[in-house]
A and B are shown apart, each in its own frame.
Chain A
Amino acid sequence: MTVRFTVNDDPVELNVPGMRRLLDVLREDLGLIGTKEGCGEGECGACTVLLDGAVVDSCLVPVGQVDGHAVRTVEGLARRRPSAERPAMPDDLNVLQMAFLETGGAQCGICTPGMLMAGEAFLASGRPATDHAIREAIAGNLCRCTGYTKIIEAIALAAARRDAGATQ
């Protein structure tokens, strides 16, 4: 079937089986390999993307249901997109990515793209950045490296900077 949607604000039109997983469409059909597969059954959250601003496991979303909607992936976060010629630099990162880099929120990095999307959705929700609220926001994203401590710190730091920016 033909599906049309946007990925990181770019329009996409594809002729694919409607039951193809959004994850496979992103990684294989669109080459957006930033989104990772960890379990294929909605348990680990490594494949988390935003669908109309809400976190979803892209391994559980058939692309047929994405028709007409907006998808955001980790590739859409940086202020400046890296390329093969020009690898990512700290200056390219958005507020949340930079907070992860500074606090040590990314270790092996495989959960990081999904974790960032959960963090972005949390920041966008405007909820106060309490410890419990952040933990709940990332409870669908498993990390085996960090004990979550520095991920929570990173999201709190990004929220504090966002709030400071908002009051300026």
Chain B
Amino acid sequence: MTLRTPSPPAIDRAPLRREGPAKLTGTALYTDDLVFPGAWYGQTIRSTEARARLLDVELDPAFDWSRVVVVTAADIPGPNIVNSIQDDQPILVADEIRHHAEPVALVAAPDRTLLQEAVAHVTLRTSPLQPVLDPLASGQVFAHYEIVAGDIERGFAEASLVIQGEYRVGHQEQLYIENNAMIAVPRADGGVAVHGSLQCPYYVHKALRRSLLLSDAQAQVIQAETGGGFGGKEEYPSILALHAALLARACGRPVRMIYDRHEDIAATTKRHPAIVTYRSGVSADGRLVAQDIEIVMDAGAYCTLSPVVLSRGTLHAGGPYACPNVRIRSRAVATNTPPNGAFRGFGAPQTEFAAEMQVNRIAEALSVSPRELRRRWLYRPGDTTPTGQVLRDSVAAEEVLDRAAEAAEFERVRERTAAARAGRDGGGDGGHVAHGIGLALAWHGAGFTGSGEVHLASVASVELTGDGRIVILTGSTEMGQGTKTIFPQLVAEALGVPMASVEFAPQDTALVPDSGPTVASRTAMVVGGLMIGACRRLRAVVEERSGGPFVDTYRGDARDHGATRIDEHFEPYPGVEFDDTTYRGDAYPAFGWASAIAEVDVDLDTGEVAVRSVVAADDVGRVIHPVLAEGQVEGGTLQAVGYATIEEIKLHDGRYLNDRLATYLIPTALDAPRIETILVEAPFGGVPHGAKGIGELPMDVGAPAVVAAIHDATGVWIHDLPASPERILAAIHARDGAAAAVAIDPGSLR
């Protein structure tokens, strides 16, 4: 295939990435690039059992321990707790080991050789305990929800078709290419400054303050350039920062803790595995009349963010379809495996995979086009969700579906693949590579769930400095998604100044306010909205004082009046109310909508899948920067394709077996499909710029679209992710009733 002659996008619509030149010349400073003279190296001693009683951390008396420092749970000045939703996760194990690779002790040394020697002389004495590894057998529930709408029994009584399924999805590793990394530097005031790869400076700040008993000023968190996050650097960096800070405190020097890939995969959070049991009822006249859904998420050994992940998964489990009778019951349970946490999509990809599988299977059962069935059922303005939320505006399910289906020529390709499949079934030589096309549709709540944004009470600020500079002050971080480019864009537009005159203050808790975490696709929508609000106020103040347009007068205003800083505080979006206890009300201020259509080739001899193309239509509210927005869709789409096809953590006795990049595989450029992005704009009225966020949308639709395409090619449904060649071949065998160990294509046996 020859590429179309590329042409760069227009700069006025898509300004160049702010920190791009630094990244492209190798001068951007990531954590491991930072130099702190005299810094020591730190390492974590981790458990090697899924569950055990910790009896002792033994230091070999033959080793000279005066040259290094060792930290155990006893050395933590404050509570031995990683600050999160529940107070259950220790910074270092004090008594019971609850998962493999759990941190038990810390060692730091002036050089790496001595560090390795010291680590080799530490022994963990333990006595084994029986681990719980099966989430269905777990008696410990971190969170559970129930959403009921209508009358589920009546719904099924009305149904003439009932489709039932159990869907299992596994762990997925975020696999940012920069591993977790943190450097702690003692401060003169007895506190500590940490420089690290992280998404949420104020999460880390709070964790340090609490467990090291520090004041606001004594705990300082500075984000270094961050090489990808995807949720994997949302909550985990708190642990790593605590570890580095404890060691820095112990040795009185800067301590570097830079994970290698093995440690990063073995010890840090993954996407939650889930088991979703789903029963859908369809009336004789083709209406969706009942959905009964049960979700079990495996949280791993500690609670982390599981209640929130489960909440989002629960709220999205019905899919973007109106249904009068719904029951969704969910729980997140403990197992003795490493804790799971945030990952792009945050619970929704797991349950929406199940939802879309159901719709596609129903379409097959009814012999209706999957597109047509969705057109009948999808949410339209005025529809009510299972929590009782009335979808008033910004509802684009139909538009994303139609735009994707038209661009992909869905019906036409589907006729062709159906003909090829019929040819194979009829014994004709349909070839040993089968082509298929598949469709998925999803919704994704914009911003935090329920009253989350109210609790966060985010602040974003703009300052006109005394020397006449315009500076953005926010805790929102850049990790590749484009914060450092789109905020200056928004600010420049709101103030009517050139973008080049807008500066972006570093993400240092000593300088910037807490704008809430950089998660949940909330940055452009929520913090961007605050930023515009701050600018409007600043502009009004200056223009009132000067009597002239801001662009012409702000420098003079700064000279005359000194610095003016506007702190914009979050105010609840009008008319948006949610009851956290009953799970009734407006679960999200608005939803984003996404559709994906995948085309695949499946090798019928080997079960290998090549995803050839994905057409992705995503409603983002309002596009701020088309190039960055497309980049989000393309990257998320490939992560979803990996989730669908090859990404899988294998466990044995609670330990990840494939904790290296040679064994945990993500797609290469040769595996990646051609991705066509269609950006749809159904603006959200609650923010001045209408943006709803984008990062997570493509993650919800990629996997069900690919699995539907595999079905279209082969005729078999794969209920578990990833849809690996092993599973596909086994499903083909099972369908064909092949008794022999080797099933040969029936056509060729004749």
Q: Do chains A and B touch in the complex (CB under 8 A)?
A: yes
**Is A146 close to B, CB under 8 A?**
yes
How far apart are the CA atoms of A43 and B659 in the complex, in Å? 13
A138 engages B669 (CB within 8 Å):
yes
A130 engages B33 (CB within 8 Å):
no
B638 engages A112 (CB within 8 Å):
no
B22 engages A87 (CB within 8 Å):
yes
Residues of A within 8 A of B22 (CB): 82, 87-88, 109
Interface set, chain B 618-658, CB cutoff 8 A to A:
627-628, 630-631, 634-639
Residues of B within 8 A of A160 (CB): 5-6
Residues of B within 8 A of A107 (CB): 228, 480-482, 631, 635
**Is B672 close to A, CB under 8 A?**
yes
How far apart are the CA atoms of A92 and B11 in the complex, in Å? 17
B228 engages A131 (CB within 8 Å):
no
A104 engages B630 (CB within 8 Å):
yes
* B interface footprint on A46-63 (CB within 8 Å = 1, 0 otherwise): 100000000000000000
Interface set, chain A 73-110, CB cutoff 8 A to B:
73-75, 77-78, 81-82, 87-90, 92-93, 97, 99-104, 106-110
Size of the B side of the interface (Cβ < 8 Å), in residues, is: 64
Residues of B within 8 A of A93 (CB): 21, 24-25
* A interface footprint on B662-676 (CB within 8 Å = 1, 0 otherwise): 100010111010110
A144 engages B24 (CB within 8 Å):
no
Q: Pick from B26, B479, B627, B672: contact of A108, CB below 8 A.
A: B479
A144 engages B666 (CB within 8 Å):
yes
Residues of B within 8 A of A97 (CB): 21, 24-25
Chain A, residue nearest B672 (CB): A148
**Is B17 close to A, CB under 8 A?**
yes
How far apart are the CA atoms of A138 and B668 in the complex, in Å? 8
A157 engages B25 (CB within 8 Å):
no
**Is A33 close to B, CB under 8 A?**
yes
Residues of A within 8 A of B227 (CB): 36, 108-111
Contact A144-B177, Cβ < 8 Å, known A88-B27, A112-B24: yes
B21 engages A89 (CB within 8 Å):
yes
Residues of B within 8 A of A112 (CB): 23-24
Q: Pick from A33, A41, A135, A152: contact of B26, CB below 8 A.
A: A33
Residues of A within 8 A of B637 (CB): 147
B1 engages A130 (CB within 8 Å):
yes
Interface set, chain A 101-128, CB cutoff 8 A to B:
101-104, 106-113, 116
Residues of A within 8 A of B696 (CB): none
A34 engages B635 (CB within 8 Å):
no
How far apart are the CA atoms of A101 and B9 in the complex, in Å? 11
B19 engages A109 (CB within 8 Å):
yes
Q: Pick from B6, B635, B670: contact of A136, CB below 8 A.
A: B670
Chain B, residue nearest A41 (CB): B662
Interface set, chain B 1-50, CB cutoff 8 A to A:
1-3, 5-9, 11, 14, 16-17, 19-30, 32-33
What's the nearest-Cβ distance from chain A to residue B593, in Å? 20
Contact A104-B24, Cβ < 8 Å, known A43-B661, A138-B669: no
B21 engages A32 (CB within 8 Å):
no
Size of the A side of the interface (Cβ < 8 Å), in residues, is: 69
Chain A, residue nearest B29 (CB): A33
Contact A156-B669, Cβ < 8 Å, known A43-B661, A106-B20, A145-B631: no
Interface set, chain B 658-708, CB cutoff 8 A to A:
660-662, 666, 668-670, 672, 674-675
A146 engages B635 (CB within 8 Å):
yes
Chain A, residue nearest B1 (CB): A131
Residues of B within 8 A of A102 (CB): 8-9, 11, 16
Residues of B within 8 A of A74 (CB): 24-26
**Is B579 close to A, CB under 8 A?**
no
B669 engages A108 (CB within 8 Å):
no
Residues of B within 8 A of A145 (CB): 228, 480, 631, 635
**Is B287 close to A, CB under 8 A?**
no
How far apart are the CA atoms of A35 and B627 in the complex, in Å? 26
B634 engages A37 (CB within 8 Å):
no
**Is B230 close to A, CB under 8 A?**
yes
B17 engages A104 (CB within 8 Å):
yes
Contact A82-B480, Cβ < 8 Å, known A104-B630, A108-B176, A150-B634: no
A106 engages B261 (CB within 8 Å):
no
Chain A, residue nearest B634 (CB): A147
**Is A142 close to B, CB under 8 A?**
yes
**Is A38 close to B, CB under 8 A?**
yes
**Is B95 close to A, CB under 8 A?**
no
B669 engages A148 (CB within 8 Å):
yes
How far apart are the CA atoms of A99 and B30 in the complex, in Å? 23
B8 engages A146 (CB within 8 Å):
no
A113 engages B669 (CB within 8 Å):
no
What are 30 contact pairs spanning A and B, CB under 8 A?
Answer: A33-B26, A33-B32, A33-B33, A36-B30, A41-B662, A44-B261, A75-B25, A88-B27, A97-B21, A100-B20, A103-B627, A108-B178, A108-B226, A108-B227, A109-B19, A109-B225, A112-B24, A135-B670, A136-B669, A144-B176, A144-B177, A144-B639, A144-B666, A146-B635, A146-B638, A147-B638, A147-B675, A157-B7, A160-B5, A160-B6
By a beta-carbon cutoff of 8 Å, the part of chain A in contact with chain B is 27, 32-41, 43-44, 46, 73-75, 77-78, 81-82, 87-90, 92-93, 97, 99-104, 106-113, 116, 129-132, 134-136, 138-153, 156-157, 160
Q: Which 5 pairs, one residue from A and one from B, show the smallest C-beta to C-beta distance? A: A34-B26, A108-B480, A110-B227, A109-B23, A147-B634
